[in-house]
Every structure is written in C-alpha cells, then in structure tokens.
Amino acid sequence: MKPITIILFAAWALAGASAVSAQTATRPPSAPIVFFDIAGPDAAKLKQFYAANFGWDIDGANAIKTPHLAGTLRQDPRETLIYLGVSNVDATLKKIVASGGAVAMPKVVVPKVATFAIFTDPEGNRMGLVELPK
C-alpha cells in the first residue's frame, strides 16, 4: 500500500468509528456472525476446495473449524448461509417481518444445543439466526 493510501484509509476508519459510536445509542445490539454453511451438489469437492485453498480443518461429518468461526458443508443445492447470534429468535423474527423480511424456515429447537431459524431480507437473501441456550 502506498503511504497516501494508508493515511486515507486510517482517516476513513477513524471517521467511520466515531460515526458508528455516535449511532450506537439508537441502534439495536449488534448480532455477531456465529456460524456459516456452504452447500453444493458435491460436498466432497467443496471439502477439498476449502481445505486446499484456505487450510480449513473439515472433519468426516463436514464440520468446519476455522481459527475464528465454525461452519459446515452441505450436499444440497448451491447456497451459502451465515447465521447471526441473537438473544431471542422469536423476537428477532417478529422484527424482521415487521421491517420487510420474511420467515423462510420457522424456528427449530435442538435441546441443549441451539434454537435456529432462517429468514429472508427484503431483497430475498437467506440468512440464519442462532440462539444459544441460557
């Protein structure tokens, strides 16, 4: 990176950070990305691709372990989903629907593991929600 690019980037980052902190009081709490899955017709090909190109540890059940995030590979139609961690799936789905999104898959409870659901945003992108047990 050229020095001027670094200076501009740093100025942009600082300006953005102060603008974000000023808005925090009026925003809902941030929902972190907590999980992802990648699907395609050939899960073995996906496994080889992601392990070879990104060094991901993918076990026999296609569970992915990266340094910062867990995921899975599915043998299904092509799709990539990210899952957002929320404190209450039901309440979040209500807010999503009220703001123009839709429920694509109602909540599923896996006892002692997690509660999850899938929604679409107003443009039709599918995303997941995850609520961990308390």
Tens digits of residue pLDDT in 9-61: 333 334 443 443 444 456 667 889 999 999 999 999 999 999 999 999 999 99
Quote the number of domains for the chain: 2
Least confident window among 3-7, 32-36, 72-76, 91-95: 3-7
Collect all residues with Cβ–Cβ distance below 8 Å to 124 and sequence separation of at least 6: none
What CA–CA distance (Å, rounded) separates 106 from 102? 10
Tracing tokens 């020095």 back to the chain, one arrives at 3
- Shared domain check, 55 and 70: yes
Collect all residues with Cβ–Cβ distance below 8 Å to 9 and sequence separation of at least 6: 1
Q: Which domain covers residue 41, as residue numbers?
A: 31-131
What's the CATH number where 38 sits?
Answer: 3.10.180.10
- Shared domain check, 53 and 5: no
